[in-house]
Chains A and B, each alone.
Chain A
Amino acid sequence: MNTVQQIRLAWKPVVFLLCLTPAVLVLTDALEITGRLGANPVEEIQDRFGYWALRFIMITLAVTPLRRLTGWNWPSRFRRMLGLFTCFYAFMHFLTWFVLDREIRLADIVEDLTERPFITLGFTAVVLLAALAITSFAAIRRRMGRKWQTLHNAAYAVGLLGVWHYWWQVKKDITEPLIYAAILAVLLGARLFWHLKRKKPG
């Protein structure tokens, strides 16, 4: 087995199951097998999916810097899967809001989307992620040509929108949003740094 096959046949299923674990835990905690969801299970489910969406966009955006720093090529083989998991968790977070929190009451949903900026931000991120997920198939990627990369640069916007959404949502203490913002700043800052360095004449 060469390295590519090893990644595809052995490592990808392992990473896939690992990425799915937080979602499985929501289910098993709801059934009180592994733990509990606490007094306000809807809030807990919504928060967990939201946090994992944020974590996964960070992990996905860490692939390129990791490859540049280490010279390893294998991390980029996982990028699409990580991106799709970002989309999955963001969508579950959205779905929890849509079904369990807003109870599919369209008037309430429109009110939230139009009057509460942090929800508008989060919703925009979910729409962008959906576009990225739909165009993630190899065949579509080939057909889109150079436009594909332009579209997929929206992953940076998703990171920014996600952190911004979280920042505006918290009640008072912004320590955690700040941590996510700092990580995002490093991930995007590294790209900017390399970009400027390459542009410099010399």
Chain B
Amino acid sequence: MQGCRDAHRSLTVLIKKTSDIQPSEITSETNYINRRDFIRAGAIAGGSLIAPGAISAVIPDTRLARLSNVAASPFSTDETPNSCEDISTYNNYYEFGLSKDDPVINAEALKTRPWTIEVSGEAEKTGTFDFDEFMKPFDLEERIYRMRCVEAWSMVIACVGISLADVVMYFQPTSTAQYVAFETLQDREQMPGVRGRSLDWPYREGLTIAEATNPLPILAVGIYGNVIPNQNGAPIRLVVPWKYGFKGIKSIVKIKFMSTRPRNSWNMAIPREYGFYANVNPTVNHPRWSQARERRIGAGVFASKQETLMFNGYGEHVAHLYKDLDLRRNY
């Protein structure tokens, strides 16, 4: 199992600080810059560290290594984040098994370097990029987001990542691009779940271009200031906080700008239960369970569930995207 000890320690610092400071100040207080990582990061970036505009997002290839140059974000919640252990041992990642405790064991051996991301479709800039090269133009930010799973449980996770809107704009989608599609690695050798037929592999997800250029979604590469554990979708995964967790596609290898709506895996599997939009919505129930309330992981056996918020509480930033959409039909 990938350890959580260091992340735990930084989390304790984080919790202690959040009680008396504003969330936007968190990172300046608990500055993530670790000298050794900073020097190594500089060496990898090869001097382009102080590039004009963005500070290069350089991700160490060491497991759970500290990330440097992480800025705080005004979008972060001040709710208490879950423990690193909860986040990294309770995962839905079917490529590594169907039980929540399978990925932590089966994803251990996943090779996250070398890693390439293919950008294609309706955009000016396309091509296949090495992961480090892909990350270079962007800034790392910490976003402490609520995560609501379609299975009616939730967590609060301190993610580190790059703004998806920045990524989309960087590749300059053409006027015909209406959607962004993503694909997960499909590797029978490394992913035992892919040998089974629980889903039609590879895992696919998509967003409208308006969703993808909204300031909230990020491509996450870390949690709690460390490189993201494999079972959470290393080396890079999508986080869309107002949508159910299954929209957050993991271990991304392909990004495609499309003029037509891409298919997404859970919708392909059970269209009656999972739609394309998958916005968190307490008034539209899953056919097999209510979505009105959610269990916050880590709250304990006898803690009561809490009310689920429309758009997972992010309505002020995203409700306008759906004002002409019947959310009951477009679940």
A residues whose Cβ falls under 8 Å from a Cβ of B: 30, 37-43, 45, 100, 103, 108, 111-112, 115-116, 118, 168-169, 171-173
Contacts and interface: CB of A to CB of B under 8 A. Distances in A.
Contacts of A115: 285
B269 A172 contact: yes
Nearest to A176: B98
A173 B151 CA distance: 15
24 contacts: A30-B301, A38-B100, A39-B90, A39-B297, A40-B100, A40-B153, A40-B295, A40-B297, A42-B295, A43-B295, A100-B301, A103-B304, A108-B290, A108-B292, A115-B285, A116-B287, A116-B288, A116-B289, A118-B288, A169-B288, A171-B151, A172-B98, A172-B270, A173-B198
Given A108-B290, A116-B288, A172-B199, A38 B301 contact: no
Contacts of B89: 38-39
Nearest to A99: B302
Contacts of A45: 301
Nearest to A116: B288
B91 to A, nearest CB: 9
A172 B198 contact: yes
A39 B301 contact: no
Interface of B: 85-86, 89-90, 94, 98, 100-101, 151, 153, 196, 198-199, 269-270, 285, 287-290, 292, 295, 297-298, 300-302, 304-305
Given A100-B301, A172-B198, A38 B289 contact: no
Nearest to B196: A173
Given A38-B100, A103-B304, A112 B90 contact: no
A155 to B, nearest CB: 27
Contacts of B98: 172-173
B288 A103 contact: no
A95 to B, nearest CB: 13
B295 A39 contact: no
B301 A42 contact: yes
- Which of A43, A112, A171 has its CB near the most chain B CB atoms (within 10 A)? A171
Contacts of B300: 41
Contacts of B304: 103
Contacts of A40: 90, 100, 153, 295, 297
Nearest to B287: A116
A37 B100 CA distance: 12
Contacts of B153: 40, 43
Given A40-B153, A41-B301, 10 more contacts: A30-B301, A39-B90, A40-B90, A42-B295, A45-B301, A100-B301, A112-B290, A172-B94, A173-B98, A173-B196
A131 B302 CA distance: 30
Contacts of A37: 301
Contacts of B90: 38-40
Contacts of B94: 172
A165 B90 CA distance: 24
A37 B89 CA distance: 12
- Which of A30, A40, A103, A116 has its CB near the most chain B CB atoms (within 10 A)? A40
A149 to B, nearest CB: 36
For the complex of A and B, the 4 pairs showing the least CB-CB separation, nearest first, are A39-B90, A39-B86, A173-B198, A41-B301
A39 B100 contact: yes
Contacts of A118: 288
Contacts of B270: 172
Contacts of B292: 108
Nearest to B273: A171
B290 A38 contact: no
Contacts of B199: 172
Contacts of A41: 300-301
Contacts of A112: 289-290
Nearest to A115: B285
A84 to B, nearest CB: 26
